[in-house]
Homo-oligomer: A and B are copies of this chain.
């Protein structure tokens, strides 16, 4: 089948049939004529349309008018309130286990150290070689400082981990296994409930990095019995550049959980200014410093949209978008030698599609110049991020066609490169 067959819908037809199509108008810049296709919402989601006014009003009416009183009135509670909101709308987690605080990296550090503290005597941390760099780097740093041993699962960059691969390395000496639910490059979805159950059978804890899944696919942390999780809020939660991460600690671990960065905002009574750190009894013990309020404003409107649309409808749209991307790939890019690095099977396909070709690293600026903005992942991957509420089927066709055009132009116009390559 090709899309030129009469029963294959066009992008315009798919957009017209899309029950979530009107959400696209709720984002800023979706009608910007200079950006014909934005396929990198999985790195930086668009701002919601109401945000400029909302954030200006925050500065004027909250910070500027309430001044220091804002802390008592609203902001001190915001890290937990917003954490609970993220938990309810996207994580499948009950209140009191999630907080918004530091970067994902700092959160990973706190959680890995927490896991080692909770499993004394166990000396191994399991992680995959292909996990996102910051996850690997934090594990390397923690291993060095604690004398832990890293058991690497040997995967390709961003490929993801199967249950069988996890099964082969989790042992009786494993304290914690650190994995990404959705692999940052391939988009492969790991078997979170399966690997979590396996780890628990062997007495280990799990720490799931949800950066590429939160807001894009249904998640059920409580039901799956996940111990620890974190993820960033600037991808599918549209929190803005560098918005703070969320951090989840299962209620069962919380009372005895100990994280290493003891700070006044994690203390039982911050304003007593008393002697001796005493961690708050709640999830607040995972907060260290003064919470980054300015970075917590943007994501609130996106959480409203997610709640309104529903995560199941979002997932359905995501799969329709990636189905369409893969169909266009089959028709227009596969014949040029482009490889598909994303699984075809729905059950293990996240919300982005990665295609690889040795020439892609040289094409990015030309794509940007055409107003077509996907992501690039070294050495040769173009990652087409599908942010279900703001991405149209038309955008998917535009990016595939732009890649096709540049590759065929490049074939015609770069004989020197071809010679070099020979």
Q: Beta-carbon contacts of A361-376 to B below 8 Å, as 1s and 0s?
A: 0000000100001010
State how many angstroms separate the Cβ of A187 from the closest Cβ of chain B.
15
User: Is A349 an interface residue when CB atoms closer than 8 A count as contact?
Assistant: no
For residue A279, give the distance in angstroms from its CB to the closest CB of chain B: 10
Known: A141-B262, A273-B378, A289-B103. A44 touches B67 (CB 8 A): yes
Q: Give the docked Cα–Cα distance between A109 and B263 (Å).
A: 9
Cα-based distance from A273 to B156 in the complex (angstroms): 11
Q: Which residues of A (136-159) have their CB < 8 Å from a CB of B?
A: 136-138, 140-141, 145, 157-158
A8 interfacial contact with B, CB 8 Å: no
Among A32, A63, A71, A145, residue most surrounded by chain B Cβ atoms (within 10 Å): A63
> Cβ of A347 < 8 Å from any Cβ of B?
no
Q: Which residue of B lies closest to A109 (CB)?
A: B261
A98: interface (CB < 8 Å): no
Given A56-B55, A273-B157, does the pair A288, B103 have CB atoms closer than 8 Å?
yes
Report, nearest first, the 3 A-B pairs whose CB atoms are least far apart.
A103-B289, A105-B289, A105-B263
Contact stretch, chosen from A234-242, A305-313, A397-405: A234-242
Tell whether, in the assembled complex, residue B68 and residue A59 are in contact, meaning their CB atoms are under 8 Å apart: no
- Within A261-282, which residues are at the interface with B (CB < 8 Å)? 261-267, 270-277
A302 to B247, CA, bound (A): 32
Count class of interface residues, chain A: 35 or more
A65 touches B32 (CB 8 A): yes
Residues of B close to A47: CB separation below 8 A: 59-60, 63-64
B242 and A290: CB pair below 8 A? yes
The answer for the CA separation of A32 and B244 in the assembled complex, in Å, is 32
At the interface, yes or no: A194 with Cβ under 8 Å from chain B?
Answer: no
Q: Which residues of chain A (292-328) have a CB below 8 Å from chain B?
A: 292-295, 297-298
Instruction: Spot the interface stretch: A88-96, A127-135, A335-343, A408-416.
Output: A127-135
Tell me, yes or no, whether A358 is within 8 Å of chain B by CB: no
Among A34, A40, A295, the one with the most B-chain Cβ atoms within 10 Å of its Cβ is A295
Asked if residues B261 and A368 are in contact (CB atoms below 8 Å), the reply is: no
Q: How far is the CA of A35 from the CA of B39 in the complex (A)?
A: 47
CB of A274, distance to nearest CB on chain B (Å): 7
CB pair A44 B56 closer than 8 Å: no
Q: Are A68 and B373 in contact (CB under 8 A)?
A: yes
Question: A289 — nearest CB in chain B belongs to which residue?
Answer: B103
Closest chain B residue to A52 by CB distance?
Answer: B56
B28 touches A59 (CB 8 A): yes
Instruction: Verify if A51 is at the interface (C-beta below 8 Å from B).
Output: yes
CB pair A232 B293 closer than 8 Å: no
Q: Which of B51, B158, B242, B377 makes the CB contact (< 8 A) with A292? A: B242
A102 at the interface (CB under 8 A from B): yes
* Residues of chain B with a CB closer than 8 A to A265's CB: 105, 134
Q: How far is the CA of A43 from the CA of B28 in the complex (A)?
A: 34
Asked whether any CB of chain B lies closer than 8 Å to the CB of A75, the reply is yes
Chain B CB within 10 Å, residue with most, of A34, A43, A241, A260: A241
Answer whether residue A106 sits at the interface, using C-beta atoms and an 8 A cutoff.
yes
Q: Which one of B38, B137, B291 contacts A267 once the chains associate, using CB atoms below 8 Å?
A: B137
Does A53 lie at the interface of the complex (its beta carbon under 8 Å from any beta carbon of B)? yes
Using A133-B277, A292-B292 as known contacts, list a sample of 19 further A-B pairs with CB atoms less than 8 Å apart, ordered by residue number in A.
A28-B64, A40-B67, A44-B63, A47-B63, A52-B56, A52-B59, A63-B240, A75-B242, A103-B263, A105-B265, A106-B288, A129-B275, A133-B274, A137-B262, A138-B261, A157-B273, A242-B294, A242-B295, A273-B377
A134 touches B263 (CB 8 A): yes
Q: A289-B245, A294-B295 are in contact. Are A262 and B138 (CB under 8 A)?
A: yes
> Which B residues are in CB contact (< 8 Å) with A9?
none
Set of chain B residues within 8 Å of A19, measured between Cβ atoms: none
Whether a CB of chain B sits under 8 angstroms from the CB of A46 is yes
Tell whether A69 is near chain B: CB-to-CB under 8 Å: yes
